[in-house]
Structure 1
């Protein structure tokens, strides 16, 4: 009822732009699939380009936090020959879990189509958004769950002012990854058997506001495609400062969810030392015995420094038969992955050359 009143007021006072669906990458297995997205007001959506000045980069980033979600919007989802509806919540977010009586016959990346069913002026073309859904492939050797900030993307997430300067003055085409990340992740995705495709999931404490930025960044830097699992969308400008901060318990929930969604798949976890990845991953490894093949933590503490508590945690896990490796660069993780048989020697050498070891 309140959602309907909100939408009528927006139209009556011309407070709305054109509603659009931002469909996120979905994922699932042969019997259960998860679809996610947002219905947003397009008035403030702005995409920065590589040659844009800092002012335009600033506008593009701020627009992600000023664009309002539209509640109570019905969305039609078409996938694998089936059609079903869902509805956006008070923030404009929607999430739909669908179970199939018969297992899906296809796997890998499959197309999905999203259409708005209401909230449009008479005669206006229905906004359509296309995305894709990952269905686990039968020959996957293992899965990879990776953090984003200071794991693949140089973010200075634990240094608020430096982080703020980066996110407000750079864009997806000018932000930098850590050297060797793309090659290492492609090597993990291919595994030892070059014909398989091991799934990669990106679980981050960043908000859904940054989804398009993260997708563009990975595409520009040739980092493998994977679903993103992010935090609740925020529409408060001041929360830009704390993007990715605060409690990281949502990471635990999302990683548990992935391990339960793919019960026959073991995982490699990749994070950094700047936040709480090591402790969270250790908790997951103990909670799911035998399911975590290895944990790689990028040490971002600075030259000549290593967090003592992380070394102690890694030592404790070693006694329990769990591998947590603290690495200063991507080559260190790639070497261990090669020794464990996760990637080929050829792929390790490629990463090593890129890093300059």
Structure 2
């Protein structure tokens, strides 16, 4: 874990992207990351597909070749899911710095715990066709840890939209912190990318998720089917005004003590077909 936060990014590196026999090029930014729109010639079926990346060496040869995956969303999903991770899926104690740091430094993908019932509930929502996107204040440094954790715990795979890369002990100490406003930008990106798709939003009360989801509610009226918020800590972070506001817009905001409560509501509303 220390290595993840003391690594050094390599900016302005030429990166090759290979997909279905086509080759594309882009350049890494100042944090060593790259983002590129590509337009393949062939139609790609829904589901997960491999894609190959490599760094261009000084002599033009490919070095550091790696394989990733990308998701093509099904043509007719029932809805999409946008979920937070820390203290929503993964027990993180994100609002308690010392407990959070202890977890980060002493546990790994095999020993960290999800909340009870999360894997089953998310598999029901996913239903082999509904896309699940994970929007989190965790940094990109933690991507491999999160990918391993989700696989080990059998939680549906989905694209991660994380916070920018950080480096150094201070950033490790305050991992997952900040304003969390980057989340609304990523939610906007997803809802604009899939304009015909409605979403279920899942979060917790510890990192301003109700406030962030309220902004999405105003910006995308009629696009949010339900909001599930896990209550974190002893203090009730909810204001009756916020719950009332969602209700007035035709969206139920459910504050849940357990995942089972959200699962029962989803069953009642027809978002999942069974509770077995």
The TM-score normalised by the length of structure 2 is: 0.95
* 3-state secondary structure, aligned to 1:335: helix
Residue of structure 2 equivalent to 1:108: 47
* 3-state secondary structure, aligned to 2:36: strand
Match of 1:117 among 41, 56, 59: 56
Residue of structure 2 equivalent to 1:89: 29
Mapping of residues 266-285 of structure 1, within 5 Å: 266-285=198-217
Residue 229 in structure 1 maps to residue 161 in structure 2:
yes
Match of 1:338 among 267, 270, 275: 267
Match of 1:141 among 72, 75, 78: 78
- Stretches of structure 1 lacking an aligned partner (at least 5 in a row): 1-60, 191-195, 351-357
Residue 74 in structure 1 maps to residue 4 in structure 2:
no
Residue of structure 2 equivalent to 1:265: 197
Mapping of residues 1-357 of structure 1, within 5 Å: 61-99=1-39, 104-118=43-57, 126-190=63-127, 196-302=128-234, 306-309=236-239, 311-345=240-274, 348=275, 350=276
- Stretches of structure 2 lacking an aligned partner (at least 5 in a row): none
Cα-to-partner distance string for 1:217-250 (whole Å, 9 max, x where unaligned): 1011111100000111011221111111111111
What is the alpha-carbon distance in structure 2 between the residues aligned to residue 109 and residue 308 of structure 1?
38
* Equivalent residues of 2:140, 2:162 under 8 A apart: yes
Deviation at 1:180, TM superposition (A): 0.3
* Equivalent residues of 2:199, 2:226 under 8 A apart: yes
Taking only aligned residues, the RMSD between alpha carbons, in angstroms, comes to 1.8
Cα-to-partner distance string for 1:36-57 (whole Å, 9 max, x where unaligned): xxxxxxxxxxxxxxxxxxxxxx
* Equivalent residues of 1:144, 1:269 under 8 A apart: yes
* 3-state secondary structure, aligned to 2:71: strand
What is the alpha-carbon distance in structure 1 between the residues aligned to residue 217 and residue 192 of structure 2?
13
* Equivalent residues of 1:73, 1:118 under 8 A apart: no
* Equivalent residues of 1:66, 1:235 under 8 A apart: yes
* 3-state secondary structure, aligned to 2:34: strand
* Equivalent residues of 1:113, 1:128 under 8 A apart: yes
Deviation at 1:137, TM superposition (A): 0.8
Q: Which has the larger radius of gyration?
A: 1
The TM-score normalised by the length of structure 1 is: 0.74
Deviation at 1:139, TM superposition (A): 2.6
Deviation at 1:105, TM superposition (A): 4.0
* Equivalent residues of 1:182, 1:221 under 8 A apart: yes
Deviation at 1:306, TM superposition (A): 2.7
Deviation at 1:251, TM superposition (A): 0.3
